[in-house]
Amino acid sequence: MATAAVLGASGYLGGELLRVLSDHPSIEVVQAVSQSRAGQRLGDVAPNLERFQDLRLSPDASTVDADIAFLAQPAGEAMTVVPSLLDRGIKVVDLGPDYRLHDPAEYARVYGRPHADTDHLSEAVYGLPEVFGARIRAARLVANPGCYPTATLLALVPLLEAHAIVGPVVVDAKSGTSGSGAQPTATSHHPEAALTILPYGAPLHRHVPEMQGVLRELGAAPGPLTFVPHLVPLVRGILCSIYATAAGPADAGAWEALYRARYADHPFVRVGRVPRLPWAQGTNRCYLAVERVGDAPVVFSVLDNLGKGGATQAVQNANLLFGWPETLGLSRAGYGV
| Dist CA 317 CA 2 (whole Å) | 14
Is 147 designated active site?
yes
| Dist CA 123 CA 143 (whole Å) | 10
Specify the 3-state DSSP secondary structure of 24. Answer: coil
| Dist CA 301 CA 280 (whole Å) | 10
Per-residue burial over 266-286, b if 16 or more Cβ lie within 10 Å, else e, is: ebbbbbeeebebebbbbbbbb
Number of H helices and E strands in the chain, helices first, is 12, 14
Given the residues 5, 6, 147, 162, select the one marked as catalytic: 147
Q: Residue 122, class by beta-carbon neighbours within 10 Å (0-12 exposed, 13-18 middle, 19+ buried)? A: exposed
The total of other beta-carbon atoms located within 10 Å of residue 291's CB is 15
List of residues 6+ apart from 133 with CB closer than 8 A: 320, 326
What element of type H or E holds 298? strand 296-303
Distance of CA 271 to the CA centre of its chain: 19
Per-residue burial over 136-164, b if 16 or more Cβ lie within 10 Å, else e, is: bbebbbbbbbbbbbbbbbbbbbbbbebeb
Distance of CA 297 to the CA centre of its chain: 25
Task: Label residue 201 left, alpha or beta by phi (over 0 means left) and psi (-120 to 50 means alpha).
Answer: left
Cα torsion through 198, 174, 152, 291, rounded to 10: -120
Give the 3-state DSSP-derived string for 223-244, with helices as H, strands as E and coil as C: CCEEEEEEECCCCCCEEEEEEE
Q: Which residues are catalytic?
A: 147
